[in-house]
Structure formats: structure tokens, C-alpha cells
Amino acid sequence: MTKKLCILPFTQLSVDTNSNAKVCAYFDEKNNLEPASIEEIDVFWKSSYMQSIRDLMLSGQEIEACSSCYRAEDLGHESYRLFFNKLYQSEFEEIVSNTDNPSIYATPKRLELRASNTCNLKCRMCSPHFSHLIAKEVNDPYPLREITEELKGDLFDKTDYFEEISLLGGEPTIDKYSLDYIKHIIASKRSKEIKLVITTNATTLTKDLISDISKFKSCHFVLSIDGIDKLNEYIRYGSSWKIIEKNLEILNQLSQNIPQITSSTIMTVQNYNIFNIKEYLKYFSVYFSSDYSKIRLNVLDGPEHLSIYSLPKHIKIKVLEELSSININAEDSRLCGLDTIKKILAQNEIKDNKAFQKFLFTATILDRLRKQQLKIASPKLFFALFNK
């Protein structure tokens, strides 16, 4: 029964920018479950939608919408599911031992919140759903997406449910509701009971935010950085590496002075940065003092044309040669996800050649539109693409 069981449907409420709710950020409703709208937390948590997911998991069945976790596990990587099962092991064991007692998950304990798509960047792998600037770039008539006022109020009222709150975006460090929510928690006198997680592009770190996060039980920053220097500026258009490095230093000093403030980094591995993993690991292994558990190489699932699955065989071979020169032990390779990437590339399967052609086309279009050059951002990739 526990083989495919995930703790998140029993403990976590995940809210998206359009006020839809689901199990987690990786839960893909397009597969077999329609997204569920949410206005009141209690109603949604006890809904047939959530109970059907729990029932399927308790019966040991696979859920198509959870396929990204299953794929990661098949490749030997620690999936989102396994990460949280381990993180909340005692709660997981309690659920397994009391499957006929729903009172143990009567209310959510963890909140994963995307309050809006307000963002200061236009990342190449992103979409209008997660960045209002991209929405404007593609002339979306309704660029700003945010949760309803009713849901905002209900989240304020139900703050006492949560032991951990994870803020995503968009960019939560500039999102008004996310920042207001942090202050509301502090005013409610519950901040010292709550673990805060902020997923950020590391471009914005104000003194006011630093002051606020120090009032929580703990605060962990997940730093979404996809390359070093010019490559990150290329992929995460609008970012400044100089500012990011300044903020990295501030976070480093904060963690030394306030141990409950911590950070880790995540690289969204895609066609654009596949030749720069060695450089990335070298930089952040120094920053995190060789603690590879704080560095995560997360393989991009979509859009398909940016996925490393779409790379031609000759490029995959060149990348594997590059990765083979990375000198880290097997456990560190597993921890950061390097071994998973090697397994994917070694398959030498091309899902769809049209996807790779689309990658070349969109890269060229965006370069012209944004006045960028791939050959400057990633010379190795440029050479591999155009000098067979």
C-alpha cells in the first residue's frame, strides 16, 4: 500500500494563482483530474476531489497526475514525493497506521501558495501563468493573475492551521499579498511556530523582508538560479548576476548570524544550461562548503522543446563527456541529481525531433526580441548545435 503513497494529499494545501487548488506544485491535473477551484479552505480540504486522491493512494494505485515523481524515482532520483515522505516521516507513519481514521488529517498542516504571477523576470522556460511580464510580452489581455479576495481573507483567517508555509510565484519577494501575509502571521503572534519557505530568483532581498523572516521559527530560501553569470542572465531575462551575488553574500552572512535562516539552490536543467552543470556545481559547492544536499539539479518536464529528452544523440554524447569530468563521489552525485541526468542522457532516445527544432526556432526568436546571444551565454552549447 505504501509504495506509491504520498503524504502531501493528507497534509498540504497547494494554491495556484488562479485560485485553483491541488496536491502540490508538481501535480499535473491535465492527466486525469480537473483542477478544483477553491474559495474556502475547509470546503476544499474535505471535498470529494481531495478524498478521491487520498483513496487512490491508500489503495496503492498510481495516479497519472503524479507521473513526474514516478519518473524521477524510476531514474533513481529522490522525487518530490519521497522528499516530503522522508521530511515528515513520523506523520507519514501515523497515516499509514491509521488509514481508517481521517481525523488525523482533518485540516492541512502545510500551505504551498502562489498568490499571483507578479514577477520581475521573463525566464525562457516560464509562461504567462507564472510571470505577468511574459503575459505582457505575448500581449495577454489579462496579464496579472492572482487569487481571489475571498481566498485571501480565508487564508488570513486559517493561519492557525499551518505549521509550514511555502511561498512561490511569480516572485514572492515582490508580491504584495505574500509580503502582507508574512506580516499578518507576525501580527497574529504565530510566526515563531511556523516554518517559512520562500522560493525566489534571488534578485530581491530587502531589509524589511530580512527583518520579518527573522521573526519566524525558521526560514529557508530556495534559490532558483539556472546558471552562473551571463548564462543565468540569459535564461532568467531581466536578472543581474551582480545583484544575485550580493544577495547570496547577504544570505550567507544571515545564516551565520541567525542559524534558523538557511538556503539551498535549484537549477532547472534544460537545453540552455545542459553544458554548464559542471560550472554550476563548482560554484555552489564552494558556496555551500561541499554540502551537495543543498544543490538540486531538477530536470525540466516542460515545455517539451526545452527538455533535455529532446536533444539529438550527438549532443547528448558530448554532454555526457562533459559530465564525466565532474569529480564528486557517488553519494553527492545522487544527492544533487547528477546521476539522474546522466541516466536520461545515456538513454539516447529522442521523444520528438520536432520538439528540438522548435527549441532552435524559439531560441532564435527570443534572441532577436531580447537582443541576446546564445553564443555568448553558452558557447559550448552554441558550438555543439552549429558545429557538428
Half-sphere exposure of 100 (CA within 13 A, CB side): 0
Q: Are residues 71 and 37 in the same domain?
A: yes
Beta strands across the sheet bearing 12-15 = 36-37, 20-22, 12-15, 110-114, 164-168, 195-200, 218-224, 261-269, 295-299
The reply to whether 101 falls in a domain is no
Question: What is the rounded CA–CA span in Å between residue 249 and residue 221?
Answer: 13
Asked whether the predicted pLDDT for residue 92 surpasses 90, the reply is no
Q: pLDDT digits over 125-161, tens only?
A: 999 999 999 999 999 988 999 998 999 999 999 999 9
Q: pLDDT digits over 262-314, tens only?
A: 999 999 999 999 999 999 999 999 999 999 999 999 999 889 999 999 999 99
The reply to whether 293 falls in a domain is no
Q: Are residues 257 and 326 in the same domain?
A: no
3-class DSSP assignment, residue 371: coil
Q: How many domains are there within the chain?
A: 3
Question: Which of 227, 254, 269 represents a domain boundary (last residue)?
Answer: 269
Q: What is the pLDDT of residue 350?
A: 56
Residue 187's domain spans which residues?
A: 109-269
Q: pLDDT digits over 176-199, tens only?
A: 999 999 999 999 999 999 999 999
**Location of C-alpha cell 562533459:** 322
Q: Are residues 251 and 123 in the same domain?
A: yes
Q: Which pairing describes strands 236-237 and 261-269: parallel, antiparallel, or unpaired?
A: unpaired
pLDDT-based confidence at 31, cuts 50/70/90? very low
Q: Are residues 149 and 9 in the same domain?
A: no
The reply to whether 205 falls in a domain is yes
- The better pLDDT of the pair 3, 8 is held by 8
DSSP secondary structure letters along 76-141: T---HHHHHHHHTHHHHHHHHHTTT-GGGGSS-SEEEEE-B---S-EETT--TTT-HHHHHHTT-S
Comparing 28-37, 90-99, 263-272, the range with the smallest average pLDDT is 28-37
Mean pLDDT of 63-86: 86
Question: Which of 67, 96, 125 represents a domain boundary (last residue)?
Answer: 96
- The better pLDDT of the pair 102, 331 is held by 331
Mean pLDDT of 63-74: 87
Q: What is the pLDDT of residue 2?
A: 62
Give residue 345's region: left, alpha or beta (phi > 0; psi -120 to 50).
alpha
Q: What is the pLDDT of residue 164?
A: 96
The reply to whether 295 falls in a domain is no
Give residue 261's region: left, alpha or beta (phi > 0; psi -120 to 50).
beta
Q: Are residues 258 and 132 in the same domain?
A: yes
Q: pLDDT digits over 329-361, tens only?
A: 999 999 899 999 999 999 866 555 789 999 999
Question: What is the rounded CA–CA span in Å between residue 388 and residue 386?
Answer: 6
Q: What is the pLDDT of residue 348?
A: 63
Q: Are residues 71 and 193 in the same domain?
A: no
The reply to whether 361 falls in a domain is yes
Q: Are residues 61 and 123 in the same domain?
A: no
The reply to whether 21 falls in a domain is yes
* pTM of the complete model beyond 0.95: no
Mean pLDDT of 69-78: 82
Q: Which residues pair with 197 in a beta bridge?
A: 166, 220
Question: What is the rounded CA–CA span in Å between residue 67 and residue 27?
Answer: 8
Q: Are residues 141 and 54 in the same domain?
A: no
Q: Are residues 85 and 124 in the same domain?
A: no
Comparing 54-58, 125-129, 248-252, the range with the smallest average pLDDT is 54-58
Q: Are residues 120 and 81 in the same domain?
A: no
Q: What is the pLDDT of residue 105?
A: 84
Q: Are residues 137 and 262 in the same domain?
A: yes
Asked whether the predicted pLDDT for residue 13 surpasses 80, the reply is yes
The reply to whether 175 falls in a domain is yes
Question: What is the rounded CA–CA span in Å between residue 223 and residue 278?
Answer: 18
What does pLDDT average to over the chain?
91
CATH number reported for the structural domain that contains residue 220 in this entry? 3.20.20.70
Asked whether the predicted pLDDT for residue 113 surpasses 60, the reply is yes
The reply to whether 277 falls in a domain is no
Q: Are residues 156 and 254 in the same domain?
A: yes
Q: What is the pLDDT of residue 32?
A: 43
| % of residues, the chain, pLDDT over 90 | 69
